[in-house]
Amino acid sequence: MKDLPILQTNVSLKEYNWWKVGGEAQFFVEPESPEQVIDCLKWAEANGHAYTVLGDGSNCLISDQGISGLTISTKKLNGILREQEQDGQYLIECLAGTPKMQVMRLFLKKKLTPALFLSGLPGQVGGGIYMNAGVREKREPREFCQIVKSFKVVDEKTLSIKTYSHSDIEWSYRKTSGWGPGIIVSCELGWENTPDPEVPKMVVEANKLRKSKQPLEFPSGGSTFKNPSTEQSAGLLIDQAGLKGFKVGDAQVSEKHANFIINLGQATAKDVWSVIKHVKEMVLKTSGIELQTEVIRKGFTD
């Protein structure tokens, strides 16, 4: 059995997700390099454990029973590797655990429009690629798929690093496929290097708007459900079903934004999941539309 020096046991995951709920990771590691990610996967395989990846946990609901096997947090897999202007493009290479905000600041410094959709998007770059994170507003660009040139993955089967270019990947609404399975360890992002002097002002305005619309004063997982289509908003359907303020324990459908389920203080993952199930049921009843969750459950067995 290969030793894993960075291994911890029974680590509370409450501080590793934005809802601030959930139990413990049976085994827990925070690798700092792609090579350490390979060691983690080798350890999991040698010891017969499943592995779970957590980015910043801003889109994850973690079970109250915690996560068995090895939880790999990419928080320390963090850093800008290269930043350059080349052939009319501005390019950034970074590790997957780099906060989106850090990348946003680089685009902002150059007055480039990716800063706009990235501002206010929580989480890390790897999670952004996995989810093809983006905004609903008509911005250019508005989703990760528009700024990702390529990314590197530790393949869970071969335990080697594979590079995927933009065109290898199927990008869809809050989903990517055609890569892995494995762990994204780094990526190259880029955008046309044409500064727009209005960008800094627009970022300030976008942040103001976001703060006025979203209940950012409470822990949450952001938008709980995917919008059923570009014309239909999940939040509006939930509101129309009369569910704003609906509560189980300390988990509540936000009064400010019905697609957000907020933790009023002591919510459990079970409370949040009960609210999610009720909302799905009621929206189906009132509109005939079956909402799909955007948030991803980790550690649940049902």
Which residues bind to ligand FAD, rule: CB under 6 A? 18, 53-60, 74, 96, 121-124, 126-128, 130-131, 133-135, 174, 183-184, 214, 216, 220-223, 296
Nearest alpha-carbon partner for 218 in 255, 171, 172, 182:
255
To the query of whether residue 174 is one of the catalytic residues in this protein, the response is yes
What are the φ and ψ backbone dihedral angles of 283, each rounded to 5 degrees? -65, -35
Cβ distance to ligand FAD smaller for residue 85 or 255:
255
The minimum distance between CB 75 and ligand FAD, in angstroms, equals 9
Nearest alpha-carbon partner for 100 in 85, 84, 82, 115:
115
CB 70 within 8 A of CB 54: no
The minimum distance between CB 87 and ligand FAD, in angstroms, equals 28
Helix (H) or strand (E) holding 81: strand 80-86
Neighbour count for residue 274 (Cβ, 10 Å) = 16
Cβ distance to ligand FAD smaller for residue 22 or 126:
126
Cβ distance to ligand FAD smaller for residue 250 or 284:
250
What does the alpha-carbon distance between residue 27 and residue 16 come to, in Å, rounded to a whole number? 14
Q: List the catalytic residue out of 174, 186, 188, 220.
A: 174
Opening angle at CA 134, ends 126 and 34, nearest 5: 5
The minimum distance between CB 222 and ligand FAD, in angstroms, equals 2
The minimum distance between CB 85 and ligand FAD, in angstroms, equals 26
To the query of whether residue 223 is one of the catalytic residues in this protein, the response is yes
Opening angle at CA 275, ends 274 and 281, nearest 5: 90
Cβ distance to ligand FAD smaller for residue 286 or 300:
300
Catalytic residues: 174, 223, 294
